[in-house]
C-alpha cells in the first residue's frame, strides 16, 4: 500500500491535472473517491474547508487545491522522470515570466472553475432564465478562451517545456468539450496545444472515457 493517496473522482478535471503530474513524475499512488463522495461538510471540512477534491496525502502531509498540490509535487520531486520531449516544466511559473505565468494559471483555473460550476448548476436544472448570473459565467468562458488564444504559442504556453498551464488547458478543454460547455475548435493556437500532447502517455492514459 502506497503512502501516497489522491482523493478525487476519476472524472474530476482538477484531479486529472494532478494525475498527469504524478504520471510525469512516475510517482505511484492509491486513488480514493470516498472523500469526494462525502456529503457531510463537517467531516470533509476538516480535510479541506472548500469541500472540494483533489486532496493529496503524501509523506504525512495533507495538501489541497490543485495549484498547490502541483507546486508541491514539482518542488518535492524535482528529478525529471518521463522521457518525453519536451520535458515537464520544473515549476508552475518561469522566474523571469513569473507575473505573466501566474496570471495565465489564474485565468485557466477560473475557466475550469466556471465550467465546473455551470455543469453542476445545469445538473440541478437551473436555467439562465432562472439565474441570469449564468449568462455572466458563459461570457467569462468566452473572454477567457479569447485571452488564452492570444497567448497560445506554437510550442504551447512555455516554449520548450510541457507546462502546468498546458496541463490545465488540456484538462479544461477535454472537460468543457465533453460536457458541451465550450469548444476549442475555432481557436487554432489552443487547439494545437491539445493536439500536440494528445498522445503523450500522461495525457492519453488519464483521459476520461
Ligand atoms: N480550486 C479547487 C477546485 C476543485 C474543484 O472544483 N473540484 C470539484 C471536482 S472537479 C469538486 O470537488 N466539486 C465539488 C463541489 O463543488 O461541491 C482546486 O483547484 O482544487
Mean pLDDT confidence for 21-25: 97
Give the length of the chain.
209
Instruction: Measure the CA angle with vertex 184, ends 24 and 127; round to 5°.
Output: 110
- In the chain, which segments carry CATH 1.20.1050.10? 95-200
More confident residue, 31 or 183: 31
Q: How far is the CA of 160 from the centre of ligand 1 (A)?
A: 30
pTM (global) more than 0.75: yes
Residue 130 has pLDDT above 70, yes or no: yes
Residue 1 has pLDDT above 70, yes or no: no
Q: Which fold has domain 95-200?
A: Glutathione S-transferase Yfyf (Class Pi); Chain A, domain 2 (1.20.1050)
From the number of C-beta atoms within 10 Å of its C-beta (0-12, 13-18, 19+), residue 139 rates as exposed
Distance CA 178, CA 184 (A): 11
Residue 2 has pLDDT above 80, yes or no: no
What CATH number does the domain located at 5-76 have?
Answer: 3.40.30.10
Residue 149 has pLDDT above 90, yes or no: yes
Distance CA 92, CA 65 (A): 14
Q: How far is the CA of 187 from the centre of ligand 1 (A)?
A: 26
Binning pLDDT at 50, 70 and 90, where does residue 206 land? Answer: very high
Residue 199 has pLDDT above 90, yes or no: yes
Q: For residue range 172-197, list pLDDT tens digits in order.
A: 999 999 999 998 888 999 999 999 99
From the number of C-beta atoms within 10 Å of its C-beta (0-12, 13-18, 19+), residue 146 rates as exposed
The closest-lying atom of ligand 1 relative to the alpha carbon of residue 14 is 10
Confirm or reject: Cβ of 53 under 6 Å from ligand 1: yes
Check if the beta carbon of residue 71 is closer than 8 Å to that of residue 43: no
For residue 136, what is its C-alpha cell? 455572466
- In the chain, which segments carry CATH 3.40.30.10? 5-76
Name which residue sits closest to atom 20 of ligand 1, judged by CA. Answer: 65
Residue 86 has pLDDT above 70, yes or no: yes
Cβ partners under 8 Å of residue 24, min gap 6: 81, 82, 88, 162, 202
Amino acid at each position: 500500500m502506497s503512502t501516497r493517496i489522491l482523493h478525487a473522482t476519476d472524472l474530476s478535471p482538477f484531479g486529472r491535472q494532478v494525475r498527469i503530474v504524478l504520471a510525469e513524475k512516475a510517482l505511484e499512488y492509491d486513488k480514493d473517491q470516498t472523500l469526494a463522495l462525502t456529503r457531510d461538510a463537517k467531516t470533509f471540512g476538516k480535510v479541506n474547508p472548500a469541500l472540494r477534491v483533489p486532496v493529496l496525502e503524501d509523506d504525512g502531509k495533507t495538501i489541497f487545491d490543485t495549484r498547490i498540490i502541483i507546486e508541491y509535487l514539482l518542488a518535492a520531486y524535482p528529478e525529471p522522470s518521463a522521457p518525453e520531449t519536451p520535458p515537464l516544466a520544473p515549476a508552475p511559473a518561469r522566474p523571469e515570466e513569473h507575473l505573466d505565468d501566474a496570471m495565465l494559471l489564474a485565468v485557466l483555473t477560473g475557466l475550469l472553475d466556471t465550467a465546473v460550476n455551470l455543469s453542476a448548476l445545469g445538473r440541478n436544472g437551473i436555467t439562465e432564465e432562472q439565474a441570469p448570473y449564468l449568462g455572466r459565467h458563459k461570457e467569462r468562458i468566452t473572454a477567457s478562451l479569447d485571452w488564452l488564444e492570444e497567448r497560445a504559442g506554437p510550442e504551447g504556453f512555455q516554449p520548450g517545456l510541457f507546462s502546468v498551464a498546458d496541463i490545465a488547458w488540456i484538462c479544461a478543454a477535454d472537460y468543457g468539450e465533453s460536457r458541451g460547455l465550450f469548444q476549442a475548435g475555432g481557436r487554432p493556437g489552443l487547439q494545437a496545444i491539445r493536439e500536440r500532447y494528445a498522445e503523450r502517455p500522461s495525457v492519453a492514459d488519464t483521459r476520461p472515457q
